[in-house]
């Protein structure tokens, strides 16, 4: 199952990093309401990331793939380093683009800084190929993320925010349409601007919508723990508008993180 421009890999990053131990922690004399631990996006980056020697693993897939009746799947192994509160955090990821053969690999890099008050800014690059295969170019991006600091948007029991958004811009997958899209008359380019919005429902999970520069997507995400290990699952529907792809498709990802 080789990954085409299905864009399932960003669904893995958007939540796995944030659910890692210590992710999002801030030191302050005042009460800080950090972003909650559920996923914030379906197919778009968020600025927050893993750090402080956190390792994470996840896998995800889409069914069907765009312009194909087949399903697609991928897996990611990553580590978060550094200190984004006082300096910067660096998240490095190794991705298997073919979980049936395990012979096609790429990497991704995300550098970020926590700005305080649940704000963060990040820059990164996706799809840096490490082997032959794959059909998507490198995608660079910059993204700003925010957890809304208003009393009505607080979960006071766990001191986290309920409403979150990100906005960013990028190259590659954030605006370049696939050959199939172009052949279908959907144009060559999207907006190169992306964003996501996530809101916690009933102190239980986030509902999410995002625009990835080409299409609208929506879904839900839930985090939970087994012992001291945090897990997360995200599921949704991609390509809800007619701007790219040939139909609505189901996307899902799950994973866990732990501190070394």
Residue 60: pLDDT band with limits 50, 70, 90: confident
DSSP string, 61-124: EEES-TTSSS-EEEEEEEEEEE-TTTS-EEEEEEEESBTTT---EEEEEEEEEEEETTEEEEEE
Q: How far is CA 198 from the centre of its chain?
A: 12
Query: Phi, psi at residue 153, to the nearest 5°?
Result: -110, 20
Please state, for a pLDDT cut of 70, what percent of the chain lies above it.
87
Please tell me the pTM assigned to this model.
Answer: 0.90
Domain 9-259: CATH superfamily is monomeric porin ompg (2.40.160.40)
CA torsion sign for 131, 134, 140, 146 is: negative
| pLDDT, position 29 | 52
| pLDDT, position 135 | 62
Is residue 146 predicted with pLDDT exceeding 90?
yes
| pLDDT, position 12 | 52
| pLDDT, position 132 | 80
Is residue 115 predicted with pLDDT exceeding 50?
yes
**What are the residue ranges spanned by the domains of the chain?**
9-259
Q: Note the pLDDT tens digit of each residue in 87-104.
A: 999 999 998 887 878 888
Burial 161-194 (b: 16+ CB within 10 A, else e): bbbbbbbbbbebbbbbbbebbeeeebeeebebeb
Is residue 168 predicted with pLDDT exceeding 80?
yes
Is residue 81 predicted with pLDDT exceeding 70?
yes
Residue 209: pLDDT band with limits 50, 70, 90: very high
CA nearest 18: which of 62, 105, 86, 78? Answer: 78
The arithmetic mean of pLDDT across residues 39-61, rounded, is 90
- Are 118 and 33 contacting, i.e. CB atoms less than 8 angstroms apart? yes
Is residue 27 predicted with pLDDT exceeding 50?
no
């Amino acid at each position: 199952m080789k990954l085409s421009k299905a864009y399932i890999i960003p669904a893995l990053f958007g939540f796995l990093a944030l659910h890692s131990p210590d992710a999002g922690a801030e030191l302050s004399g005042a009460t800080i309401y950090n972003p909650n631990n559920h996923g914030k996006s379906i197919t778009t980056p968020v600025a927050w990331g893993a750090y402080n020697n956190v390792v994470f693993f996840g896998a995800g897939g889409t069914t069907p793939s765009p312009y194909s009746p087949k399903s697609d799947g991928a897996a990611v192994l990553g580590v978060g380093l550094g200190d984004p509160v006082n300096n910067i955090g660096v998240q490095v990821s190794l991705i298997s683009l073919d979980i049936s053969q395990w012979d096609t690999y790429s990497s991704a890099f995300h550098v970020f800084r926590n700005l305080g008050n649940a704000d963060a800014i990040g820059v990164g690059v996706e799809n840096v190929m490490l082997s032959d295969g794959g059909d998507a170019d490198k995608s660079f991006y910059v993204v700003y993320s925010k957890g809304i600091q208003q009393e009505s948007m607080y979960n006071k029991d766990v001191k986290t925010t309920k409403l979150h958004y990100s906005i960013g811009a990028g190259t590659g997958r954030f605006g370049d349409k696939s050959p199939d899209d172009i052949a279908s008359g959907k144009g060559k380019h999207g907006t190169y601007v992306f964003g996501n919005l996530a809101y916690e429902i009933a102190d239980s999970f986030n509902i999410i919508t995002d625009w990835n520069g080409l299409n609208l997507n929506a879904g839900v995400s839930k985090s939970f723990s087994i012992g001291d290990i945090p897990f997360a699952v995200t599921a949704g529907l991609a390509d809800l508008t007619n701007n790219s792809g040939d139909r609505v498709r189901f996307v899902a990802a799950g994973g866990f993180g732990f501190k070394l």
